[in-house]
Amino acid sequence: MLVVLGALALFLSYPPFPLPFLSFFAITPAVILIRQAVREGNPRSAFRWGWWYGVISNALVLYWMIVALWHFTPFSALGYLATIAVLGLLNGVLFWFVVRMRAALPGVPLWVVLPVAWTTLEWTIGHLGDVRFPWLGLGTSLADARVLVQWADIAGARGITLWLAWCNVVILEALIDVRRASDVVRRLAPVLGTLVLALGYGVWRMKTLPVHDVGVVGMVQPSEAFNEKWDPARADSVVGKLLRHSNELLQNTPRPALIIWPEAAIPDFLWRRPGWDAAITGLARDARVPIFTGVFWAEPGWRSTLDPYYNATLLIDSTGDWRSHPVYAKHYLVPVTERVPFVPVKVFRAIPGLARWSGGFTPGRTKPLYQTALGRFGVIVC
């Protein structure tokens, strides 16, 4: 029951659920399980509880891997199961490690060991090669409480995680390990103090941080069904919608200084579609407005899916030039649909019938900045 309750609490603490207060209690069921294992001196049961806690909580948080990615390949189900199994294993190791540390160093309190271990686990999950999730952290759960997370500009998202994990442990121990109400207040005082400090810094930062308008940006998002977007017979229609909606934006007042198209907006390599190239660059040149777009990208001369290709972005400047600007390629690729974890692309391409079931994108390495009349900017891709 504690495992399920803990998984639900962690899941509900994340956006889009507007429950930022839950972040301060979200992992208390996990803390109770670890405390029980410490009392019993049983690291094995801690590992088992941690495994199930990790599997169920990540199954809820990563539900989109099934819902959103099934269109690309049914292999997304296998990727989903493998991912939550790996993350469950890491959670099991976390529980086991904390119990062993408490046994080996009984003088080190749980409110020190667990927050450090939890934050370390988050960092590890953010650096797991092809299955890394850098945004999947407890600190992220406060994304809808802007005033409380302003101090992330000092400590980073992992600093917010360390604080929240510490608050969870201290709050739980204050409520269950004392006999008088005065003891509860005394033990909760450090949490309330840090909360006041975070609020105070957040209010000051939001009032003093200089914010100014840089100009008007026009955003185009055509309504395309999945089977329409990737139907080769409809490719010209897809690009035609982008151009038509962009022309409509240009008639607006105020006129946009930059037009942005979405991820993978152009459903083929631009360099091998001279008609699209001429129409898109002509629009930017005639309107004197740059277009920033998501593209599929490979170097000219690309021959097959065994060669590198990328989920990328491209700037077409106000003169219609894109060849002199750097291409940004997505760094963090979605497991299975964009890149099968740990398996070379050529393995899937060599087996007849498997190529269409697995992504073979190559991760990008560079981080270019783009210059427009609005100023310099970088980009991340979903």
Q: What is the pLDDT of residue 133?
A: 82
Q: What is the pLDDT of residue 227?
A: 77
| Domain extent listing, the chain | 2-208, 217-377
Report pLDDT digits (tens) over 181-228.
Answer: 778 888 899 999 999 999 999 999 999 999 889 999 999 999 888 778
- Whole-angstrom Cα distance, residue 372 to residue 370? 7
Confidence bin at 299 (pLDDT 50/70/90):
confident
Provide the whole-model pTM: 0.85
- Whole-angstrom Cα distance, residue 243 to residue 70? 29
Please spell the DSSP secondary structure of 74-116, one letter per residue: THHHHHHHHHHHHHHHHHHHHHHHHHHHHHH-TTS-HHHHHHH
Task: Report the length, in residues, of the chain.
Answer: 382
Domain topology for 217-377: Nitrilase/N-carbamoyl-D-aminoacid amidohydrolase (3.60.110)
State yes or no: pLDDT of 76 exceeds 70.
yes
Report pLDDT digits (tens) over 217-273.
Answer: 999 999 888 778 888 899 999 999 999 999 999 998 889 999 999 999 998 999 999
Q: What is the pLDDT of residue 82?
A: 86
Residues contacting residue 232 through CB under 8 Å, at least 6 positions apart: none
